[in-house]
Structure 1
């Protein structure tokens, strides 16, 4: 029997960081320690790691999914004022192998180990074996990744797809684009499909329909808007959430066409899990399928909500196992 080894996996986000220390044996990974942190409570990632790794035994390898492009195993994070350097972390904490990947690359690897109960089917479609898959997810930002068939497996390709231009699909969304251009200049889809994006839509609806934007004064406006919309206690919030879900679906449809992801589109991220019932009511698929002559193709694409919010951590854990020095 091989000697058990310890690995460290992390899912780093603009709002929260989830870390897990696991023991790797012949039966797979067994959790030793896990903790969720608020990103805002730490001035850098190393300080957060130091807190988590107090009194931890030696670690063989680590992998962290981070929000932003990774270059030479380092990344300046999107929506978070941190610079994370894999080699520096290895030296500071005595970890022989540290790998950084884009957070949606980690999620792509996590998709492979999900169980059926981790997925909620929005559209069964007609999955094509051996075709590409796409994954996206809104949270503090908007992440995108792709899984392409390669030999007997898949290649997971990260992207910065959340920063492509927002494409309005109807007259109201065109007005939303004009509203956001006055605020931001260039308007990427993340300005609309994300937690802050929901607040942007709400601000627009309040101005356009002349409602007082009271929920923007909340401590957490996106959460307050979503809560009010789900409870039907604020007209502007309900309208904003309706627009949000339709645009979210439309963007998912764009990704399905870009990648011909006929093996499935996977919608991950905390927002999707929290809004699963509302997203299943039709608005998301309405946006997804509204592609004119390509509607019939998109009707064959399976669409899943990822209900397991630890999918990124699962992917990072898989990658950390592969990084264990021989």
Structure 2
């Protein structure tokens, strides 16, 4: 099943004690225990480089004093969101050296049930569970009930997903929408595209709307501005200097980044018919704060010609929850355990 895998032993109980939830990225592994519905405790962030494999990180977390205080018996149910495609039993991380078999990990950790899903699949499933204070609306629009919801998020790459209503449930989409072809919207963006074409025969949205995209776009804009400092900068420095106003090229770079994201988010909205709203996640945009709210993101989101009025009715939200993936993997685990009970 593309995007998610369940490993379980249906002969054993599915409802025993706290559940382990994890959000695994290329740099950090975030863990929590879910003691009651959407109640997370013993949250810990462990550096991936400190452990030889995922099992070692899980063992270290479960043996920590904070976890042992909560757990009076071994954890039996677990769900993991990982920044990686999940297709089959073996997961090989593309941005870290960890490789593991889902079933072997379940057995080694002593879990009755283990769900492993792509991180954006988990984030998509978190959307219906976000509280009002865990999101900020950008622009106008009102969500329609029981309609598709879109999700997009630039970080190391460009994650794209969504959820489709199916009766009382939501079905998450496993998408590689970040790799659609980049579409420029003005003369400067056309020139940026021409310059990127010199290095890459296919320019995806992710190539420019991501951390690496910020760095690439900064280099191109600096070269176009003959008076600019052409010293290469990383994405963190570019965003920092854009926010404090100390670098004009950095400001322009982040301006174009926000506008381009608006165009791609609008494309996602019309593709899915996402009248339930479009959410922005990932590691970059939440750090931009008011800069993003005042950017051309929303204007470009709606700039779809004859469909401008259609887009104007669709709300866009910035996810501000600190650990939204926990909500998503919890919801997915609930559904899988319910299904296992029915099958058993």
TM-score w.r.t. length of structure 1: 0.90
Determine if contact 1:11/1:65 at 8 Å carries over to the other structure.
yes
**What residue in structure 2 maps to residue 52 of structure 1?**
61
TM-superposed deviation, 1:43: 4.5
Q: State the shift of 1:242 in Å.
A: 0.6
Aligned to 1:34: 43
Instruction: Give 3-state SS (helix, strand or coil) of 1:273's partner.
Output: helix
Q: How does 1:1-326 map to 2 (within 5 A)?
A: 5-24=17-36, 28-54=37-63, 57-210=73-226, 211-216=228-233, 221-324=234-337, 326=341
Structure 1 distance, partners of 2:267, 2:100, is 31
1:42–1:141 Cα change, 3 Å: farther
How many angstroms apart in 2 are the aligned matches of 1:174 and 1:84? Answer: 43
Q: Is the 8 A contact 1:10 1:17 kept in 2?
A: yes
After the TM superposition, which parts of structure 1 deviate over 6 Å for at least 4 consecutive aligned residues? none
Cα distance in structure 2, aligned partners of 1:313 and 1:145? 17
CA contact (8 A) 1:198 1:241 kept: yes
Separation of aligned partners in 1, 2:205 and 2:53: 28
Q: 8 Å contact 2:278–2:317 — kept in the other structure? A: yes
- Structure 1 position 243, deviation (Å): 0.7
Provide closer, same or farther for how the CA distance between residues 317 and 151 of structure 1 changes in structure 2, counting only shifts above 3 A: closer
CA distance in 2, matches of 1:236, 1:186: 25
Give the gaps of 5 or more residues in structure 2.
1-13
What secondary structure, in the 3-state scheme, does the structure 2 residue paired with 1:63 have?
Answer: strand
What TM-score, normalized by structure 2, do the two folds share? 0.85
Distance 2:79 2:319 in 1: 21
Change (3 A) 1:281 1:3: closer
Shift of 1:162: 1.2
RMSD of aligned alpha carbons: 2.2
**Aligned equivalents of 2:239 and 2:118: distance in 1?**
27
Equivalent-residue separation in structure 2 for 1:3 and 1:85 (angstroms): 24
Distance 1:3 1:312, change over 3 A: closer
Question: Number of paired residues?
Answer: 318
Against the structure 1 CA distance between its residues 82 and 152, is the aligned structure 2 distance closer, same or farther, given a 3 Å change threshold? same
Q: Which range moved further: 293-302 or 173-182?
A: 173-182
Report the Cα offset of residue 32 of structure 1. 4.0
After TM superposition, the structure 1 stretch with the greater mean CA deviation from structure 2, 109-118 or 207-216, is: 207-216
Query: What secondary structure does 1:214 align onto?
Result: coil
